[in-house]
Amino acid sequence: MPSHLLQVFQAYADAWNRHDAAAIVATFLEGGTYADPTTNGPLTGETIGAYAESLWAAFPDLSFEMLSSLENGDGLLSAEWLMKGTNTGSMSGLPPTGKSISVRGADFVLVEDGKIRSVQGYFDPGEVPRSLGLDIIVQPVAIGPFEFGTSTRVSSGSKAVPGAFSITLFEARSEEEKAAILESGKKIAQEMLSIPGFISFVGATVGNRMMTITAWDRPDSTSPLMKSGEHRVAVDRYFRSELGGRGGATGIWIPGRLNTRRVRCNACSKMAPVSAPEEKCSCGAVLPDPLAYW
What pLDDT, in 10s, does the model give residues 2-41? 588 899 999 999 999 999 999 999 999 999 999 999 998 9
Distance separating alpha carbons of residues 168 and 177, to the nearest angstrom? 16
Instruction: Name the residue among 237, 241, 185 with its Cα closest to residue 211.
Output: 185
The one-letter code for the residue type at 191 is E
- Beta-strand pair 115-123/28-35: parallel
Q: Give me the architecture of the 4-131 domain, per CATH.
A: Roll (3.10)
Torsion on CA atoms 8, 12, 14, 18, rounded to nearest 10: 150
How much is the average pLDDT of 252-264? 89
Partner residues linked to 143 by β-bridges: 146
The one-letter code for the residue type at 28 is F
pTM comes to 0.65
Would you kindly state where each structural domain of the chain is located, as residue ranges? Answer: 4-131, 142-253
Distance separating alpha carbons of residues 291 and 158, to the nearest angstrom? 10
How much is the average pLDDT of 100-118? 96
Higher pLDDT, 106 or 280: 106
Tens digits of residue pLDDT in 56-77: 999 999 999 999 999 988 999 9
Distance separating alpha carbons of residues 187 and 260, to the nearest angstrom? 33
| Phi, psi dihedral angles at 218 (to 5 degrees) | -160, 160
CATH of the domain spanning 142-253: 3.30.70.100
Report residue 142 CA to chain centroid gap: 21
Helix (H, G, I), strand (E, B) or coil at 220: helix
Same topology for domains 4-131 and 142-253, yes or no?
no
Scanning the chain, the segments in alpha helix (DSSP H) are 4-18, 21-26, 46-58, 127-131, 175-192, 229-239
Partner residues linked to 203 by β-bridges: 152, 212
Tens digits of residue pLDDT in 167-220: 999 888 888 888 888 888 888 998 999 999 999 999 999 988 999 999 999 999
pLDDT for position 2: 59
pLDDT for position 35: 97
Residue 148 — pLDDT band, cuts 50, 70, 90?
very high
